[in-house]
Structures are given as structure tokens and as C-alpha cells.
Amino acid sequence: MSIVYNESAKSFKLTAKDTSYVIGIFDDDQFVCHLYYGDKLPDEDVNYLYGPVYQMRPSVLNRERARVMDWVPFEYPTQGIGDYREHCLEVETLDGHHTCDLHYVSHKIYAGKPALPDMPATFDNGDVCTTLELVCEDRTLQLEITLIYTTFETLDVITRTVRVKNNADRPIYLKRVLSASLDFDHQNLETLTLHGGWARECNPTRLPVVPGKLVTGNARGETSAQDSPLLALMDPGTDDDHGEVFAMNFVYSGNFYGCAEGHQFGGTRAVMGINPQNFTWKLIPGDSFTAPEVVMVHSNEGLGKMTRTFHDLYRNHLIRGKYKDRKRPILINNWEATYFDFNTEKLLDIAREAAKNGIEMLVMDDGWFGTRNNDDRGLGDWWVNEEKLPGGLKYLVDEVNKLGLKFGIWIEPEMVNANSDLFRAHPDWAIQTPGRPLSEFREQLVLDWSRKEVRDYVYDMIHKVLSSANIEYVKWDMNRTMTELGSAGLPADQQQELCHRYVLGVYDIMNRLTTDFPNILLENCSSGGSRFDAGMLYYSPQIWTSDDSDAIERLGIQYGTSLCYPLSTMGAHISAVPNHQTGRITPFETRGYVALSGTFGYELDVTKIPEEDRAMIPKQVAMYHKYNDLVREGDLYRMGSVYTHPEYDSWMVVAKDKSEALVTYIQVRAKPGFVGSVRKLKLKGLDPQTMYRDEETGVVASGTAWMSGGYWIENMSGDYVGKLIHLIKA
């Protein structure tokens, strides 16, 4: 078993591949303490890890308890007992008190990994996981808290969640239930978080840990483009290949909170979970509340190993369904081609030209339903506009299928326009605070998906549409954040449950959709990447990475996203130029290279692009089919980044068996002269002893030569140009 309890030391040692994590129980008060997290320990007896914690004798605690509590490395810190650092659990009793004091009661260790009720979570495949359930209680409150840890034996991964049960005879209010806490005995650390905004998601930000708090999080009702739920602590100067990294990623699609706090004793505490802002949960007698899962990844080989661990975990233990291990169809989406101005014949024109060039699916975006001819009306009225689509949806889909193409459709089921039949019939179904104006965003409001009757009504309409024709792909969008929080379906003392109940409602409908239509490829989207999170990947194997489709902008966006999420999950398309977001003009070939490191598709009017670009599409289609298995399944290594080398970007994907590798190089800015126009890349991830042949030049060299001697990129003229290098086992 990869989790062992040492009775004499009163400690638990959790082992995940090359990582150990140690929890201790302090003898007298049964405090649950964090003792170690790092490289794998061979020791059976880890008693020495207690250090000063072990010296806390009853006589000291009796006279200095409040002082001692402020430096104990609690495994799951609580509010009100003298620990003034970041805490994970805060309650409020009916009497208005907030103190909570946890003590160890019992534990159980078992093979496998439990599912979470009504929420996504990673899962085991066979016998690769072991789980510890560590039960604590606050005897005064009769509150039972179960800390749940799962180790992955083949990955440096430990997952964490918490279950809180009310065993008293009256309700208690949970004010904060975070999922994980980590204590470090020093502050010589840097944090890595991902920040941005619409069309500029997932920009890596590195800051040193200092006394005080570094916070990442949001309270917008969704994951958000502004902050992504990744918090990593690492050695100063950590790069892709060197340095120790401790990363936490939240498997959740709503408000989140991550914090790294440097405290007065020279240590650091990091926490992650549901954002306490706009959160209170009424826990009635006998009921339990389960927090979403936090995935913890440890790397002793820099950010690169962290990335590859996350990728392996999510590809094999989170993504599900028909397309989990399957090549995705190359699609063309009509949004940037037509916006709302389309009809059946226009879509068929695009489909005919797409089919000639090897594209495999037509996706009809916003504007096909209700009175939806612009973005101020129609959301919520999910029936086909037959004035725009004569003959209805089935006629269009059948005609597209006759051309040899699959058909996909865009929906935004969580939103509603005030100018819609749905809102006019049910104005109370929108999230709102009574007596206050409803703030519109993109001229839309958010439906209250905490209410089952609202979800059922909308899903019934969507189900009828998806059942009416051979629809094989759904793009699920969500284009606004939440304001004026309030639900007509919740009592006053449960209003702050709305945000979490909303996310559970989204999961409910996504679960229904993927169960009722198991062959549909579901792609999530939220104004681009505002809902790019591990929770969504449980339901959809791909997510639209950003509304910014400019290839050069995408270098940074896709770099930041790929720190945590696999290339196979990143929606990436070739769009027209001048680009609709930036106005930049980049070569069609370069746009293809960048989209290749994602799901690969087109976002343009194929009937209007230059002939030389159109002629390149069959070559790009062939490129996708040649390399996608490698890109989707291989290990990612980075040789450059626009954040560290603004003149170029380069990355490579290496097959799991080391038999081949694909290197992508993008020259962002050309420089004059021989020195400025050539560059040597030291490749990574190859087998040192294997001989590899460069498919283009025929040069054969060992993995050691390519990695230590490097690969010379010959002179490339101009900005925004690129190339692929394919190395195959000789």
C-alpha cells in the first residue's frame, strides 16, 4: 500500500511515485499536523519529523496554548483557536460563535479512489490509487470532519478533499470550507499563478513569498479569465528543468480562492478551495457537505515535470467519454466568417468548400434560434429560426452530412436575454436581488441554475434540438459573470449557497447531456477561456482556450494554459487575417503550426480567403492527421517562451516510447545579420542512446547529440514565420 500508518510514531506516510507526504498526530491533544512534503522517503519510522511539534508537552500547552496554536503546522487549520494564519474551516453556530477545534478520532486506508457526490473528480484506473480517510471531530459542536487523501502510485499526485458532517441536533453554518492546506517551514519560495482577462488568458505571474499574503481567486461565479485555479510554490529561479515545485490545481468551475502566506515564524502556509466570499452553507442535522477536489503535484525537475504530471493525470484520470483517447474531427466554425448574418445556403456554401479541402465538420455558431439576429435578443428561446434556416435544422444537417461532413451546434443555455419569450414568461428565473436593477452584460442575464425547475425547462428544449437531427458536436458557451446575487428559490439564510449550487446545477446538466448523448463531442467555452478548468474537463475533453485567435497572441495564452492542461484539451483554430481581435497579419502556415498544438480547426469563411491559403488547407489537414496522435498523447517539453524570449517560441512533443518527436519553432521577430537570424535549440526528452533522423534534412544523430549539441535553426526571413521539425527513430 502507498499509505502506511505507523502506530508507534502516530504518523501517516503517503507515497505517490517519487513523492512522500507525512501527517502526524500529536499525542496528547490529538492534533493533526503536517510534517513533510517532498522527495520520496525510504524511512519507515519518521518520528524525527515532528521536531519542535513533538516537544509540546501538556505543561506547555496548559499555560501557553493560544501562543503555541499560532505556530503549529496544522494539517487542516480552523478558525478561533489562536492560529491566526490562513485557515481552512470556519463555522457559525446559531449562537453566533465561530470557534472550531479539531482532534483526531480514527482513520481508514483502502485501495481505490471514491467519487465525489454531484461533482467532478479524478478517478483511478484499476489498482493505481490508495485512499486515506482521516476522521476528526469538534466534540463541542458535534461536527465530524473527514480529511480525504488519495495517492496515485504511478504519478507524483496526491488529491485532497474534505467532508463535513453535522452530528448535532441543530443546524450549523459553514462560512469557509477550503479543500487543502500546505505548511512550509521557510519562505525561500516563489509563487506561480495564472492571470489575465478576456482574450489574454493564463499569463504566468511569478512573485516571491514575503511576510503577508499573495492571493489568487475570483468571485465572478465562474473560473474566470482573470484568475485560473493554479497555485504553485517553488524554489526561487525554478525553470522548466530545474527546481522543486509544489502545485495545487482546483477541480472546480466556480468561485475559488488560493493564498500563500508568509507568516511571523518564517514559514509559509498555502491554501486552496471555494472562495469564502459570497459563501455560507447551512448544514442541517445529519447532513454532510463535501468540498471540491484539489490536485497536488510535486516535481523535483522544475515546471516541465509538473506540466507532464498534470497532463498524464488529466488525460488518463479525468477526461472521459468517446473522445478521451481519440482524434477529434477537424471543424470549421462560422462565427468569425458570418457572425449573425447567415442562412442555410450560406452555411452550405462554406460546407461545400470545406469538404473539398478535407475539413470534417461544420459548426453553426450563435444566431440559429428564436429571434436571435443580434446579441440583444433570443437567448433562452431554444427553437430553430426557420426564417433563417428554411426547412429546419434537420434539412441543413442532412445536406451537410451528404457532403461527407459532420455537424455541430453552438448553445448558451445558462444565459437569457430580457428580450426573450423565456424571460417574459419567467422573469424571476434570472439571478437578481429584489428591488435592484438587473445589470446586463452583453445584453444578457444569468439564469438561476440552482433551481431544478429552471434547469429542467432549459434542458428539455436543448434535448429536443439535439434529438432532432444528427448533431455530433456541441459548443457550450457562457458569456457573462454574476452580479446582484439572489435566488427566488432559496430562503434568506441560504442565499449565500447560490454560487455553489449554481455550479452543481451546471454539472447536473452537463452530466445529463453527456449521458443522454454519449457520442456527442462537447466543447466548453466561456467568453473564450473563462471556464478553462479541470472540473469542465470531466465533462468535455476540450475547451475553447481564448476568443483571441491571433496566432502570435496564442503563443503566450497556450503556453500558460499548457502549464496545467494537456494540449489535447486546448481549442485552437486558424482564423482569417487581419485577425479580428488584433488586426495582425500572420502567414497561413504559421497559423496552422500554432493551432496544431491544440484541437486544430478553422474559424473563417473558407470561400473568401486567398487562393494560396485555401490551397494550403489540404496540406494542413494531412499535417494534422500525421501528427495529432503524437501531439495528443506525447510529453510536452519547452525550449523557449515568449515570456522569457520575446523573439521566438519553441516547444516539442515526444512520444511516450521515445520513438519520435515533433518540434515547433515560431520566429516572432526577425533580427538582422547572421547572429540574429540563426538559433540553436537544445532539444529535450529524447532517449540519449537512440539515433534519430530529421525527416526533412535526413541528418541522423543520437538523442544526446540533439539535446546537448543542439539543433541549428537556419536563417528564417521575416516576422511570424515558423517551422516543424520531425525526428523519427532511425
CA-based radius of gyration for the chain: 27
* Among 573, 605, 527, CA closest to 338: 605
- The answer to whether the peptide bond before residue 610 is cis (omega within 30 degrees of 0) is no
Q: CA distances (Å), 212 to each of 62, 208, 275, 385, 697, in order?
A: 29, 11, 19, 56, 55
| Closest by Cα among 340, 387, 381 to 364 | 340
Q: Give the H/E segment covering residue 406.
A: strand 406-411
The answer to whether the beta carbons of residues 246 and 311 sit under 8 Å apart is no
CA 217 to chain centre: 14
Three-state SS annotation for 541-561: CEEECCCCCCHHHHHHHHHHH
Question: At 102, which amino acid appears?
Answer: L
Does residue 634 come out as left (phi exceeding 0), alpha (psi in the -120 to 50 range) or beta? beta
Please give the DSSP secondary-structure letter assigned to residue 38. E
Active site (catalytic) residues: 477, 547
- Report how far residue 356's alpha carbon sits from residue 354's, in angstroms, rounded to the nearest whole number: 5
Strand partners, 555: none
- Cβ contacts of 19 within 8 Å, gap of 6 or more: 37, 38, 39, 40, 156, 158, 298
| Cβ atoms of 614 and 332 closer than 8 Å | no
- Give the integer Cα–Cα distance in Å for 269 and 271: 7
Strands 721-729 and 691-694: antiparallel
Cα–Cα distance measured from residue 314 to residue 65, given in angstroms and rounded to the nearest whole number: 43
CA 455 to chain centroid, in Å, comes to: 24
Nearest 5 degrees, angle CA 672-CA 673-CA 678? 95
The residue behind cell 520520496 is 40
Q: DSSP class of residue 708? A: I
Q: Are strands 268-274 and 256-262 parallel, antiparallel or unpaired?
A: antiparallel
Nearest Cα neighbor of 556 from 655, 661, 638, 677 is: 638
How far does the chain reach from its first CA to its final CA, in angstroms?
41
Contact 424, 379 (CB under 8 A): no
d(CA 119, CA 506): 10
E-strand ranges in 286-386 read 288-290, 293-299, 331-333, 361-364
